[in-house]
Amino acid sequence: MHGGGKLATRLAEQMGVEQKMVDGRRITDAETLKIVTMVYAGYINKNIVARLQSHHCNAMGLCGADGDAVLAHKRAHPVLDFGFVGDVDAINTPLIKTLLESNITPVMSPITHDQQGQLLNTNADTIAQEMARGMSSDYKTELIYTFEKPGVLLDVNDETSVIPELNAGYYQQLKSKQKIFAGMLPKLDNAFTALNSGVSKVIIGQAEHLKKLISGESGTTITNE
Residues in contact with a copy of itself by the rule CB under 8 A: 11, 14-16, 34, 37-43, 45-47, 49-51, 53-54, 58-63, 65-68, 98, 102, 104, 111, 113, 115-119
User: What is the sign of the dihedral through the CA atoms of 120, 1, 223 and 160?
Assistant: negative
CB of residue 31 to a copy of itself, shortest distance in Å: 10
Inter-axis angle of helices 124-135 and 93-101, to 10 degrees? Answer: 70
CB of residue 71 to a copy of itself, shortest distance in Å: 9
Q: Of 53 and 224, which CB lies nearer to a copy of itself in the complex structure?
A: 53
Q: How many other C-beta atoms are found inside a 10 Å radius of the C-beta of residue 108?
A: 25
Are the C-beta atoms of 33 and 119 separated by less than 8 Å? yes
CB of residue 64 to a copy of itself, shortest distance in Å: 9
CA pair distance 103, 14, nearest whole angstrom: 39
Q: Of 63 and 152, which CB lies nearer to a copy of itself in the complex structure?
A: 63
- Sequence-separated (6 or more) residues with CB below 8 Å from residue 26: 19, 20, 32
Q: Is 22 helix (H, G, I), strand (E, B) or coil?
A: strand
CB of residue 145 to a copy of itself, shortest distance in Å: 24
CB of residue 144 to a copy of itself, shortest distance in Å: 23
Q: Of 63 and 222, which CB lies nearer to a copy of itself in the complex structure?
A: 63
Q: Of 49 and 128, which CB lies nearer to a copy of itself in the complex structure?
A: 49
Q: Of 131 and 153, which CB lies nearer to a copy of itself in the complex structure?
A: 131
- Sequence-separated (6 or more) residues with CB below 8 Å from residue 166: 152, 188, 220, 221, 222
